[in-house]
């Protein structure tokens, strides 16, 4: 029960990695808000959690919309009294387009879901975290946020932005009792390909060497275990100097 009495919001939690994170968090004692654009699938995930003795509610949200994110966090606090953990998991793919083939509409849609939603949800949650000087933010980035040969230009740029946003947020709030980390999976067995509208043939062929570096396709449950570790309580700040030149209370690894 490593998350006993914690309240967690997981976006994109009706399937894939998000669902696995929500199910595991509930198993570990958290009260989980299952957020997704798919109401039926979100409700099914909640029923699964409840059938296993966990506590959860579903809140439908399109994370590309500011008003939905506002409603998501407000309803969470109204329901459970607080928020302890925010997992920004919702994401969509591009069609492997290189820069020369990008259409503005697709670029804006991908950034709205993959990047702007992470900022907005974080911004909305921070006043709750700052008031109690405690909170955890976990962003699902991607190997595409670290390397250039995993997806098209739009998805790659959106996930690189998530990595940068995570680093800055982790640093800015490290002394306020707030942790912010990102997980950057490679290929994982999810339904994210359903968000694609086709394949850019030349782009798909070009990224094959990058995809081939992945030793195997991951399981959503493996990502959930990492998300559990990051949400669990561990020593985030040094209370006594332990390294030469370190000040008491100095944040550790705030740029990772």
**183, 226 in Cβ contact below 8 A?**
yes
Rounded Cα gap, residues 136 and 125, in angstroms:
10
Query: Strand runs (DSSP E) across 49-104, as ranges?
Result: 55-60, 85-88
Residue 195 burial by CB count (10 A; 0-12/13-18/19+): exposed, middle or buried? Answer: middle
User: Is 155 one of the annotated active-site residues of the chain?
Assistant: yes
**95, 196 in Cβ contact below 8 A?**
yes
- From first to last of its 256 residues, what are the pLDDT tens digits of the chain? 999 999 999 999 999 999 999 999 999 999 999 999 999 999 999 999 999 999 999 999 999 999 999 999 999 999 999 999 999 999 999 999 999 999 999 999 999 999 999 999 999 999 999 999 999 999 999 999 999 988 999 999 999 999 999 999 999 999 999 999 999 998 888 766 666 677 777 777 788 777 777 778 789 999 999 999 999 986 343 333 443 343 333 333 434 3
- For 244, other C-beta atoms within 10 Å of its C-beta total 5
Does the predicted TM-score (pTM) go above 0.95? no
Rounded Cα gap, residues 161 and 137, in angstroms:
16
Please state at what angle helix 66-80 crosses helix 117-132, rounded to 10 degrees.
Answer: 30
Rounded Cα gap, residues 140 and 100, in angstroms:
27
- How confident is the model over 84-100, as pLDDT tens digits? 999 999 999 999 999 99
Assigned CATH topology for domain 7-231:
Rossmann fold (3.40.50)
What is the token pair recorded at 149?
């040969």
Residue 121 burial by CB count (10 A; 0-12/13-18/19+): exposed, middle or buried? Answer: buried
For the chain, domain boundaries: 7-231
Residue among 25, 80, 155, 173 flagged as catalytic? 155
- How confident is the model over 211-247, as pLDDT tens digits? 777 778 789 999 999 999 999 986 343 333 443 343 3
Rounded Cα gap, residues 91 and 183, in angstroms:
13
Residue 187 burial by CB count (10 A; 0-12/13-18/19+): exposed, middle or buried? Answer: middle
Query: Strand runs (DSSP E) across the chain, as ranges?
Result: 7-11, 31-36, 55-60, 85-88, 135-140, 178-183
Tell me the C-alpha to C-alpha distance, in Å, between residue 65 and each of 57, 70, 140.
Answer: 20, 9, 19
Rounded Cα gap, residues 61 and 231, in angstroms:
22
């Amino acid at each position: 029960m490593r998350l006993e009495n914690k309240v967690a919001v997981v976006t994109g939690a009706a399937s894939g990695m998000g669902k696995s994170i929500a199910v595991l968090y509930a198993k570990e004692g958290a009260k989980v808000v299952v957020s997704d654009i798919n109401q039926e699938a979100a409700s099914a995930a909640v029923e699964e959690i409840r059938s296993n003795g966990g506590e959860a509610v579903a809140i439908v949200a399109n994370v590309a919309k500011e008003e939905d994110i506002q409603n998501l966090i407000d309803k969470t606090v109204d329901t459970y009294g607080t928020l302890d953990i925010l997992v920004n998991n919702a994401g969509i793919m591009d069609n492997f387009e290189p820069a020369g083939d990008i259409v503005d509409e697709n670029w804006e849609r991908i950034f709205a879901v993959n990047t702007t939603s992470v900022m907005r949800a974080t911004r909305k949650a921070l006043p709750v975290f700052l008031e109690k000087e405690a909170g955890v933010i976990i962003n699902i980035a991607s190997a595409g946020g670290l390397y250039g040969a995993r997806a098209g230009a739009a998805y790659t740029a959106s996930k690189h932005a998530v990595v940068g946003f995570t680093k800055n947020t982790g640093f800015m709030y490290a002394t306020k009792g707030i942790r912010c980390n990102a997980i950057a999976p490679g290929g994982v067995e999810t339904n994210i390909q359903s968000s694609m509208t086709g394949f850019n043939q030349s782009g798909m062929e070009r990224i094959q060497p990058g995809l081939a570096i992945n030793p195997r396709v991951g399981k959503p449950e493996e990502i959930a275990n990492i998300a559990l570790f990051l949400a669990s309580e561990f020593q985030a700040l040094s209370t006594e100097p332990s390294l030469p030149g370190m000040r008491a209370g100095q944040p550790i690894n705030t740029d990772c």
